[in-house]
Amino acid sequence: MKLADIFRLSINSLTHRGLRSWLTILGIIIGVAAVVAMLSIGTGMEQSIEAQMSGLGADILTLSPGYTQAQGTQGGFDQMRRQMESMFGGGNAETSNDDPILTDTDMYSLYEVEGVEYVAGIISENRIEVKYLSQSVNVNIEGVDPVVWAQMATSTLYSGRFLNYGDSNSVVVGYSFANDMFEQPLGVNTQVKIEGTTFKIVGILDQSGTGNFGGDDRTIFMTHSDARNLIDDIDANEYSSIEIKIADTEKVDEITENIERALYYSRMVNEETQDFTVSSPTSMIETITSTMETLSFFLIGIAAISLLVGAIGIANTMFMSVMERTRLIGIFKSLGTRNSEIMKLFLTESAVIGLMGGLLGIFLGLILVGLISSAGLSFMGMGKMGGTTTSVAIVTPELIIFALVFSTIIGIISGLIPARKASKLQIVEAMRSE
């Protein structure tokens, strides 16, 4: 029996079984669509986060108060939370008097560390009310040293100027804050009210892509003195975090160790009593990537269950096909059809089910990816980063090929036992079957 004949007979058999064939294929369609959607979203989110965080500057380390060792799942998530709070603003929830703080003493100790170029104390607070005309929004504010901040800022100016030493009630705002958060875009010299105090916008930062996580795009920058006037629980010599610009990104681990040793001495702590955290965008990316890989693996496991159900459906359909065509198998064998050809016939049939399920599953998966991606862009505020349109889901050619090959293999494996059973039937017994 020629291969073309085997393929034609398989298609003819599936066509005659009609609804049962489509119900079997449906199980594979759902499983493949789920796998495509989960892998695409996982890949897209990882690349989107890495692209956005790259705008923070690989040469900027962040020193934040408090330390949690990343041991176990809870420790890892807590460490990630601390790093996100320190690098993206916020984290100034109410604290007790016993909580560690950062002061001028810590800054002075960092000046002498080899590999450190600039040190800047940051005063930050999240969800500060800002009003413009009849609208009000809640955003992050950061108090900075104008002289040092101009040297360390990772964003360039879109319009206006940076803060100057001695500025009072003047702010520099992120691109998204100026253009997206109010009905009417804000420009240089526009006045806004922050916690009831009037401030003038003297500069607008260019789009950096970090706005989705509370970074520069949605942050308001002001001087230390103005920030302390707005925030009640920050004393004159205290900071929410300290940013450190290093000279060589290739030596980030070595410089981090030097910083930690200097702080051990100035804060009179050791590795066991450490009360601070030094983090970098690189470590943050690694933490988030590791977490998302675990989540993606979990979601793919759920999708794999759908494929398993689909595989069981194929096996059931093929067993029924063998039972229904037992007499036909006997006729084929009486005409000289070999056992291997009978087996090929049923394996081709199950492979076609897997292939068709894979093709339709990929198509459905692409639709799901488009819908989820659009919903994600609207919900998370994603869309453009540094002028480039981004997506929360990425479908690669490799993923499509993998899904198609995998679904076909699932079909073949599911039909293996029924095909073997069909090939082992004896001619006399098969011919006597009704």
* 9, 10, 128, 339, 342 from 336: Cα distances, Å: 17, 19, 84, 9, 11
* Nearest partner of 42 among 393, 285, 368, judged by Cα: 393
CA distance 118 to 115: 10
Phi and psi at residue 205, to the nearest 5°: -80, 150
Identity (one letter) of the amino acid at 196?
A: G
Alpha helices in 268-338 (DSSP H): 281-324, 326-334
CA distance 53 to 155: 12
Take residue 212 and report the two structure tokens written for it. 């989705």
CA distance 120 to 148: 6
pLDDT tens for residues 335-356? 777 878 888 887 888 888 888 8
Q: Give the predicted TM-score (pTM) of the model.
A: 0.58
| Beta carbons of 372 and 41 less than 8 angstroms apart | yes
Q: Please, what is the average pLDDT of the chain?
A: 79
CA torsion, ordered 222, 157, 214, 181, to nearest 10 deg: 90
When computed from its CA atoms, the radius of gyration of the chain, rounded to whole angstroms, is: 31
Take residue 293 and report the two structure tokens written for it. 């890989």
Name the helix (H) or strand (E) containing 13.
helix 3-17
CA distance 28 to 363: 12
Residues of the chain with pLDDT under 50: 70-84, 86-97, 211-214, 379-389
pLDDT tens for residues 286-344? 777 777 777 777 877 777 787 788 888 888 887 877 777 777 777 777 777 787 888 88
Q: Which residues of 388-401 are buried (b: 16+ CB within 10 A; e: fewer)?
A: eebbbbbbeeebbe
